[in-house]
Amino acid sequence: MGAYLLRRLLLMIPTLFGIMAISFIVIQFAPGGPVEQVIARMSGDGSSTDRLSGGGADLQRFDQGSQSQYRGAQGLDPAFIAQLEKQFGFDRPPVERFFTMIWNYVRFDFGDSYFRDISVIDLIIEKMPVSISLGLWITLISYAISIPLGIRKAVKDGSAFDVWTSGIVIIGYAIPGFLFAILLMVLFAGGSFFDWFPLRGLFSENWSSLSWPERILDYFWHLTLPLTAMVLSAFATTTLLTKNSFLDEIRKQYVVTARAKGLSERQVLYGHVFRNAMLIIIAGFPGAFISAFFTGSLLIENIFSLDGLGLLGFRSVLDRDYSVVFATLYIFSLMGLLVGLLSDMLYTWIDPRIDFDRRDV
């Protein structure tokens, strides 16, 4: 196991380097960089949508003799433009900027946001409670519902219960989470019907004056609609995965042998099948949490105005806040690689018969 861990850790280095290098190269060709953002804001031209699509004419680069390379910079002091380039690090060649960034990131020095007066790491920590709330609760709820339901469907495979629950699961998987979120807002958040739940935020304005029991209730009151919208697809996926995993194990020879020994169905199911069938489910828990934590909440955060990491990343891309974009990409990629390694370790913990040292990475 030690040799396998060492190989996996060493493999993370070129993988992470490749992710950052490809992303850095792509960013170089994206229209409307930080300098153009400042120029556009000073001139009052272009919207966030225009800057994202490159539709604003004032944001395009060009080369015309001694004129500024930034269209829209006419009339501005060249020394001011040079100062902007130095502030954002664009006075150096791209290769030098890339390796400087990597060296800083290796030391976990992520610098400051271009357009916010705060360090990147403090900004991420500030937004993390919302994403942790969504990611943690959606994972726990989906597992708590999906595992018992998946086991029941496997035991009742082909029955009326299996058929109609499969229909509900498939419909739930087919409905986009953001569409269901909008439906919940219309129905229960002051739309055309009921006004039972808050429309935005994770806490009420009077949070500081509430008692601890009231704070807990207020917290879950705000989370009800976002979690309901997000649990739909996660619930469907985990349910079908659990069912198929149990069906594969139930049909194996050791189950027939256990039944032949006179063991009850409950003893066979939870004494023999459960451990093997749950291997893939439990080992995938860290990955499911990270997926919900970092990627699954972007649209939900936008719809319910939850200021988390998903919304931070989206706005940073719009604003061309490259320091935040690259720092979050580096952190999330590193965590994703570590979670993949953790999943393999869970395999060996659940079933000691698995030995990764006997296979190639």
Q: Are residues 101 and 236 in the same domain?
A: no
Query: Is 111 a domain residue?
Result: no
Q: Which of 73, 106, 139 is the endpoint of a domain?
A: 106
Summarize pLDDT for 162-190 with one digit per residue, the tens.
899 988 888 877 887 778 888 888 888 87
pLDDT greater than 80 at residue 217: yes
> pTM of this prediction?
0.70
Q: Are residues 280 and 343 in the same domain?
A: yes
Q: Are residues 209 and 318 in the same domain?
A: yes
3-state secondary structure of 68: coil
State the total domains in the chain: 2
pLDDT band at 66 (very low <50, low <70, confident <90, very high): very low
**Average pLDDT estimate for 267-280:** 78
pLDDT greater than 70 at residue 62: no
Query: Is 2 a domain residue?
Result: no
Which tokens sit at 64? 């015309």
Radius of gyration in angstroms for the set of CA atoms belonging to the chain, rounded to a whole number: 26
Residues 6+ apart with CB under 8 A from 25: none
- CA-to-CA distance for 27 and 33, rounded, in angstroms? 9
Residues 6+ apart with CB under 8 A from 84: 34, 35, 38, 39
DSSP 84-114: HHHHHTTTS-HHHHHHHHHHHHHTT---B-S
Query: Is 17 a domain residue?
Result: no
Query: Is 115 a domain residue?
Result: no
Q: Are residues 286 and 353 in the same domain?
A: yes
Range of the domain at 178: 120-358
